[in-house]
Chain A
């Protein structure tokens, strides 16, 4: 009998109905000008976005934020418009861990069901050290909900 010492592959999955076609949602993820307008990690005030959307192509999101600058980088693993986008994800929160994000889009009527899976999340020790950042995200969400 083995007693595994490694941590289980932690993951989160988020699902959302979006008021647009899969083509438009896919473009929102893969067009730098579009992504810049909605992707807001932390207390982002402005962002620089560089995307090379093709398998093995890199992306870089540099967000200027009230709680410091966040750089997120990764490499596209799969680019299948308009249904599937898979990329690796490195951020200050994952600290070098090769986490993986999969975005799946499915047409439902005139809308799109988006399923996002973020897996291979780093150990909680790393995550806990960055709790402050996540708390700020939570605060921002609360603000948005109160508006």
Chain B
């Protein structure tokens, strides 16, 4: 179960490692879009864009619905939240150290002596 979660996170991060795919996600944040609409801003074939969309779909970042002849794409938030949670742990670690540094500086209001150099 845990291993599966790690694999899912790896897929999400790999999917996000490409600027075109990040641009597609940015576009989808404003709402659902057709594949042709998503392809428009990029100087690449519809086929090439389709490959990017497949990567996003496999990572669970995007869901595709076929209506008639049109493919509609929508963003899926869950994997993004997992990535955020992972990075959040590092952020929390440093936030805590800086809390501690701030307290230290407040405790020691008189100037700190120059570093004694090599210890």
Contacts and interface: CB of A to CB of B under 8 A. Distances in A.
Contacts of B83: 124
A141 B99 contact: yes
Contact of B87 (A12, A34, A140): A12
B112 A34 contact: yes
Contact of A125 (B6, B92, B118): B6
Interface residues of A, number: 50
Contacts of A125: 6, 9-10
A107 interface: no
Contacts of B36: none
Contact of B94 (A12, A28, A49, A138): A12
Contact of A12 (B48, B91, B104, B105): B91
B64 to A, nearest CB: 18
Given A41-B93, A137-B93, A1 B51 contact: yes
Interface in A11-51: 12, 14, 16, 18-20, 24-25, 27-28, 30-34, 37-41, 49-51
A44 to B, nearest CB: 10
A118 B92 CA distance: 12
A137 B96 contact: yes
B96 A19 contact: no
Contact of B119 (A19, A39, A50): A50
Interface in A90-117: 114, 116
Interface in B75-119: 83, 86-87, 89-106, 111-119
A137 B100 CA distance: 13
**Which 10 pairs between the two chains have the least Cβ-Cβ distance?**
A38-B104, A8-B17, A134-B89, A31-B115, A125-B6, A124-B9, A12-B91, A12-B90, A20-B105, A14-B94
25 contacts: A3-B18, A4-B14, A6-B14, A8-B13, A10-B13, A12-B87, A14-B98, A16-B102, A18-B98, A20-B105, A25-B105, A28-B104, A38-B97, A38-B100, A38-B104, A39-B97, A41-B93, A41-B97, A53-B115, A118-B94, A121-B87, A121-B90, A125-B9, A131-B89, A137-B89
Given A5-B14, A138-B92, 15 more contacts: A16-B98, A20-B105, A24-B112, A25-B105, A28-B105, A28-B112, A39-B97, A57-B118, A116-B94, A116-B98, A123-B13, A124-B6, A134-B93, A138-B89, A141-B99
